[in-house]
Amino acid sequence: MSKIFIIAEIGINHNGDIELAKKLIDMAKRAGCDAVKFQKRDINEVYTKEFLSGLRESPWGKTQLDQKKGLEFSFENYREIDSYCKKKEIIWFASAWDIKSLKFLDRFNLKYQKIASAMITNLEFLQEVAKRKKYTFISTGMCTLDDIDKAIKIFIDHDCDFELMHSVSTYPANESDLNLNVINTLKKKYKCKVGYSGHEPSVSPSLIACVIGATSLERHITLDRASYGSDQSASLEESGLLQLVRTIRKLTLVMGDGIKTFIDEEKKVAKKLRYWE
């Protein structure tokens, strides 16, 4: 069994606080995750003026604009994140939600790209991502197979390596809705790697996803699930993340290659216990 690539999704759970972001990076590193991921939006590209002028109480003010601005990091913030992740020796990348944000992230020469489920039907955006020819994780929440067909064709046409990620886009997701068998459905149909991006509040479904063949795993993380934010309740605190990562790392040890062998240590036992004619 190959090593499963584990992504700690910080997303917007940093609440616009760079020190909180660093604590979440530290948490992911302690747990043994391979990477941390953020989300980047150009507010004026993603949202309409009418939406941004709407009322919304938040720690940053009384409008949607105040809330959205409060959650976004600046270039200087991301430069600090870039430096901090290099110091901590953990990979970071981000899912862009618009082309301007994609170009913003180009400035950091990141190893990976991520297509959020909300963006998979934006074919113009997918073209821009695929042109960069960086390994791309593609979440498939809120999608039909036809949607996935169109997305994959773009990446194949641009010779851009990708990995699908099965996902159910509810926050938090009900376990009865997870349909983890879709992981192998997608593997068989598209002949590619398929990971799992989970939004359930528990740990066990993510473990099951890995046992049945997920090649990567993405989970939102938080210091406190009671914190402000729409993703907090679908996130794992440190104890859950530690449990999850440690068990997944054990999976790669105990699952093996599936080839039945009579190992040397068994032969020693056989000399003592087996009946010999």
Sign of CA dihedral 13, 15, 38, 178: positive
The dihedral over CA atoms of 80, 84, 86, 87, expressed in degrees to the nearest 10, equals: 140
Count of other CB atoms within 10 angstroms of residue 22: 16
For 29-53, how does the pLDDT look when each residue is reduced to its tens digit (9 = 90+)? 999 999 999 999 999 999 999 999 9
For 66-105, how does the pLDDT look when each residue is reduced to its tens digit (9 = 90+)? 999 999 999 999 999 999 999 999 999 999 999 999 999 9
Q: Answer whether residue 277 shows pLDDT above 80.
A: no
Query: What domains lie within the chain, and their CATH numbers?
Result: 5-252 (3.20.20.70)
For 236-249, how does the pLDDT look when each residue is reduced to its tens digit (9 = 90+)? 999 999 999 999 99
For 188-212, how does the pLDDT look when each residue is reduced to its tens digit (9 = 90+)? 999 999 999 999 999 999 999 999 9
For 135-190, how does the pLDDT look when each residue is reduced to its tens digit (9 = 90+)? 999 999 999 999 999 999 999 999 999 999 999 999 999 999 999 999 999 999 99
